[in-house]
Amino acid sequence: MKIDAHQHFWTLARGDYPWPDDSVAPIFRDFGPDDLAPLLAGTGIERTVLVQATDTVAETEFLLDLAARHAFIAGVVGWVDLTAPDAIATIDRLRADPRLKGVRPMLQNINQDDWILQDAAQPALAHLQKVGLRFDALIQPRHLPVIDALAARYPELPVVIDHVAKPGMGGGGAPDAAWKDGMTRLAARPNLWCKLSGMVTEIGPGWQYGDLSPFAAHVLAVFGAGRVMFGSDWPVVNLASDYRTWVETAMRLTAQLSPSEQLALWGGTAADFYGIN
């Protein structure tokens, strides 16, 4: 089973999306299941993980409703304010729907690098670990030491790094030492995974295969295919490419993997991480 472990839907009229806006015109419109279904069929991808795009519980409820009505959505990664006094109650209310697989605080949008380590967030994080939910880390390289500390604090909490942590890419440059070392340290944590996603968008429409290959190679070398999963980041990927082109590029980036490793990266890893049957 091939799984896209990272995609989004949004209906702008719901009114809780500060982004996308008119600065990203190609994706400043509604995107829903009927838009994605033919792209999945055309690339042989059978299931997806639907990830939150804004920081409201209402959007998570909207995504869970979509998942209930569209069988290809295998699970939802939602949002909860982990510092709120009622965070644990909100988590429990949402996880009553088994389609909720995890939560994603939007750490990249928070100025305080170690926000997730503050005392107010710890009861909710401990509860996520206790009840078997997952943690999607939407981060930038400045957060790599923070996620290392988080993983050490909660060794039974499965954490996945979205978009290879958004390092600086493009222009044919090699990965910088800080990102490489940070990702290597994270990969040494057995409760850390990584998504091969979001890369072309970080560069922009002028991306080249050679801009991506050393970053993908490092992630695969340190995590291994058993802890790396494919994600499209659709429709955000449309800012720099399109669904099919990114799938074909990811296939090229991972062509050296063995057949069993291919099965893992294109579905098995995501199924294991998110608990998808």
pLDDT attached to residue 171? 87
If pLDDT is split at 50, 70 and 90, which confidence band does 212 have?
A: very high
If pLDDT is split at 50, 70 and 90, which confidence band does 162 have?
A: very high
Domains and CATH numbers, the chain: 3-274 (3.20.20.140)
Residue 117 C-alpha from the chain's centroid: 20
**Backbone phi and psi for residue 31, each to the nearest 5 degrees, phi listed first:** -135, 130
> What percent of the chain shows pLDDT beyond 90?
99
- 44 in the Ramachandran plot: left (φ > 0), alpha (ψ -120 to 50) or beta? left
Give 11-69 pLDDT, tens digit per residue.
999 999 999 999 999 999 999 999 999 999 999 999 999 999 999 999 999 999 999 99
If pLDDT is split at 50, 70 and 90, which confidence band does 1 have?
A: very high
Q: Is the pTM of this model over 0.95?
A: yes
**202 and 169 Cβ atoms separated by less than 8 Å:** yes
Q: What is the mean pLDDT of residues 197-221?
A: 97
- CA atoms 28, 32, 38, 43: torsion sign: positive
E-assigned strand segments in the chain: 3-7, 47-51, 73-78, 100-103, 134-137, 159-161, 192-196, 228-230
pLDDT attached to residue 172? 81
Q: What is the mean pLDDT of residues 214-226?
A: 98
Give 226-272 pLDDT, tens digit per residue.
999 999 999 999 999 999 999 999 999 999 999 999 999 999 999 99
Nearest to 218 by CA among 267, 147, 169: 169
Give 58-75 pLDDT, tens digit per residue.
999 999 999 999 999 999
155 has pLDDT over 90: yes
Length of the chain: 277
For the chain, give the mean pLDDT: 97
